[in-house]
Structure 1
Amino acid sequence: MQKILITGANGLLGQKLVHLLANNPTIDLIATARGKSRLPISEGFRYLEMDLNNPTQIESVIQEIQPDSIIHTAAMTNVDICHQDPTGCWNANVRAVEYLIEQCQRHHIYLCHVSTDFVFDGENGPYKEDAQPAPISVYGKSKYEAELRVQASGLRWSIIRTVLVYGIVPDMSRSNIILWVKNSLEKGQAIKVVSDQLRTPTLAEDLAKGCWLATQKQAEGIFHISGKDLMSPYDMAMATADYFKLDKQLITEVTAATFTQEAKRPPRTGFVLDKAIHELGYEPVSFWEGIEIMVEQLKAITSPS
């Protein structure tokens, strides 16, 4: 039996991982996050509070649990908030990783660390794993610094980079582009959507599977895990309108320069997935299939039980 500890279990990816791995008879699952559990399920795993800015608490939890593997999903991911609060970003995205690495070294734990396409400048995506990072935002720099620390740790490790994650969880605290487009168009609201940024949007369930495949195999190295369709947010909005048969005339194509965003975004990222497909057995859904999966989940959440 593999004993797996997840950080950031209350987040979108964390919740999807708990849902994927809970009640698996081959896994002893421990979900951790700061504060009380916001997970919609309570069986098939244990939940412990663990604040990643508190090294004493990290040490105490890991000493008690002695996991075989840690899947580290917790991070400060809002690019503009990272820009406004670089110290908070550094503490959440780099220092916390240093604390985890220290405990992984002490207890010989495998570390699966989740990173981002924002480690690249976006000048020549889609990217393979061996492309040279060149982050252009505080957020991207913090995630790259964390990667460097994982790589220099002497641990058994994997780094799972991902792109523009979308999905829903029951508390619905986080919206995403699909729901935003759907809700806006249903209300007859005109929206402006950027067409000069390209990504390979990732269904949260696919990312959870990628993290699990790497951890299950104790795979080592960097793996790119994302969707397979290279799209702009405008493309995503048009596909969403098509899926729900909503009025595409309400969608206006604009450039990123239309919006005032504090932090720079890489213009063209996206990933080449060959390594993850061949070495991990990773199989992402299409963007259209991702919408279908979300719609079914939305029905389950909103229908009276």
Structure 2
Amino acid sequence: MKVLITGSNGLLGQHLIPVFLQDSRYTVIATGRGPNRLPVQDGYTYEATNLRDATSVQHLLEKHKPDVLIHAAAMTQVDDCERNKDACWDINVSATRYLIQAAEKTNTFFVFLSTDFVFDGLQGPYAEEDAVNPLSYYGASKVAAERLVRNSKLAWAIVRTVLVYGVAADPKRSNIITWVKNNLEQGKKLKVVTDQWRTPTLVQDLAAGCKLVADKRATGIYHISGSETLTPYEMAVQTAGYFKLNPQMLEQVDAKTFTQPAKRPAKTGFVIDKAVKELGYKPHSFEEGLDIVAREI
């Protein structure tokens, strides 16, 4: 059984590949922009592909004819999407369209990664059937791509997730844990918001959730995230406590303190009952996630 993973150089892609490699039923094909940047380069096939080019995408799927495609490639920096809407649309929507068109010819099970930013944050945490209403261009691009997936002729699943954290192979990539740890270790004060709520997701949990969807050929929308609703300030305090750093260096502020191009939803987070019941999904607590990240660092 062949699985094709897009965005393999990204945080999720880096964790998806080893999860599938551990299962002998799967042959893994990874694709990303430019050269393969994963620490482990054996046991799978890597193809550098421009997903914004329909012909390249067509050739990729015709060559490998995957049984499952996990589309994790995306432009996810919310403010960058607001500043460069054409690039955001090309990567998040047009590339998804090209992959769907190619996958329809190979009868591939299509798993699409989406986000809590499809919601407006007025009534979180959200269940799968709640109405979408994005506040940012990033969120709107994901809603448009979700619509393409839902209207396709494919067997499909949409996996939405929230504030993914973990350790990437690229040391320049930070997440809330490394951001708090590095700044507090350097004696820098941090302003952290108290009026946004999320269910932060350990990247290993998200990868495991995607694998469950692929294994079960589970169709429909699944919310896969952590189970605890926390503010960024609460996450920062827990991180400071774990690493025995000074929480007094954390200043509580509200979202109005920051001027950002893209509007953020106030309260998202997910109800994950469906994933727990139908897939057997079991996320780690944020405290457990901290321990896993600390060991990887």
Fold-level similarity (TM above 0.5): yes
Q: CA deviation at 1:171?
A: 2.2
Q: For residues 27 and 19 of structure 1, what CA distance do their matches in structure 2 show?
A: 11
Equivalent position of 2:13 in the other structure = 14
Q: For residues 241 and 23 of structure 1, what CA distance do their matches in structure 2 show?
A: 34
Equivalent position of 1:301 in the other structure = none
Residue 223 of structure 1 aligns to a residue whose secondary structure is strand
Q: For residues 8 and 57 of structure 2, what CA distance do their matches in structure 1 show?
A: 15
Equivalent position of 2:73 in the other structure = 74
User: What letter is aligned with 1:37?
Assistant: N
Q: CA deviation at 1:181?
A: 0.6
User: What letter is aligned with 1:124?
Assistant: Q
Equivalent position of 1:230 in the other structure = 229
Equivalent position of 1:183 in the other structure = 182
User: What letter is aligned with 1:278?
Assistant: K
Equivalent position of 1:55 in the other structure = 54
User: What letter is aligned with 2:259?
Assistant: T
Equivalent position of 2:128 in the other structure = 129
More displaced stretch, 269-278 vs 18-27: 18-27
1:277-300 CA distances to partner (integer Å, 9 max, x unpaired)?
Answer: 0001100000000010011111xx
Equivalent position of 2:258 in the other structure = 259
Alignment check: 8 A CA contact 1:23 1:43 kept: no
Q: For residues 19 and 218 of structure 1, what CA distance do their matches in structure 2 show?
A: 19
Alignment check: 8 A CA contact 1:24 1:44 kept: no
Residue 35 of structure 2 aligns to a residue whose secondary structure is coil
Q: CA deviation at 1:247?
A: 0.6
1:150-171 CA distances to partner (integer Å, 9 max, x unpaired)?
Answer: 0000210000000000111232
1:216-237 CA distances to partner (integer Å, 9 max, x unpaired)?
Answer: 1110000000011100100000
Alignment check: 8 A CA contact 1:133 1:144 kept: yes
Q: How does 1:54-133 map to 2 (within 5 A)?
A: 54-133=53-132
Q: How does 1:8-47 map to 2 (within 5 A)?
A: 8-47=7-46
Q: CA deviation at 1:211?
A: 0.8
Equivalent position of 2:218 in the other structure = 219
Q: How does 1:133-212 map to 2 (within 5 A)?
A: 133-212=132-211
Residue 10 of structure 1 aligns to a residue whose secondary structure is coil
Q: For residues 132 and 100 of structure 2, what CA distance do their matches in structure 1 show?
A: 21
Q: CA deviation at 1:23?
A: 4.5
Q: For residues 163 and 279 of structure 1, what CA distance do their matches in structure 2 show?
A: 19
Q: For residues 214 and 23 of structure 1, what CA distance do their matches in structure 2 show?
A: 16
**Which consecutive residues of structure 2, in runs of 5 or more, have no partner in the other structure?**
none
Q: CA deviation at 1:189?
A: 1.0
Q: Name the CA shift for 1:23/1:279 in 2 (closer, same or farther; >3 Å).
A: closer
Q: For residues 211 and 281 of structure 1, what CA distance do their matches in structure 2 show?
A: 12
Alignment check: 8 A CA contact 1:168 1:294 kept: yes
1:233-261 CA distances to partner (integer Å, 9 max, x unpaired)?
Answer: 00000000111111111100000000111
Q: CA deviation at 1:21?
A: 1.4
- TM-score norm. by structure 1 comes to 0.96
Q: For residues 213 and 62 of structure 1, what CA distance do their matches in structure 2 show?
A: 23
Q: For residues 131 and 279 of structure 1, what CA distance do their matches in structure 2 show?
A: 18
Q: For residues 170 and 80 of structure 2, what CA distance do their matches in structure 1 show?
A: 22
Runs of 4+ displaced beyond 4 Å? none
Alignment check: 8 A CA contact 1:23 1:45 kept: no
User: What letter is aligned with 1:125?
Assistant: G
Residue 196 of structure 1 aligns to a residue whose secondary structure is coil
Residue 142 of structure 1 aligns to a residue whose secondary structure is helix
1:58-77 CA distances to partner (integer Å, 9 max, x unpaired)?
Answer: 11111010000100000000
User: What letter is aligned with 2:263?
Assistant: K
How many matched pairs?
Answer: 297
Q: How does 1:244-283 map to 2 (within 5 A)?
A: 244-283=243-282
User: What letter is aligned with 2:274?
Assistant: K
Q: CA deviation at 1:173?
A: 2.9
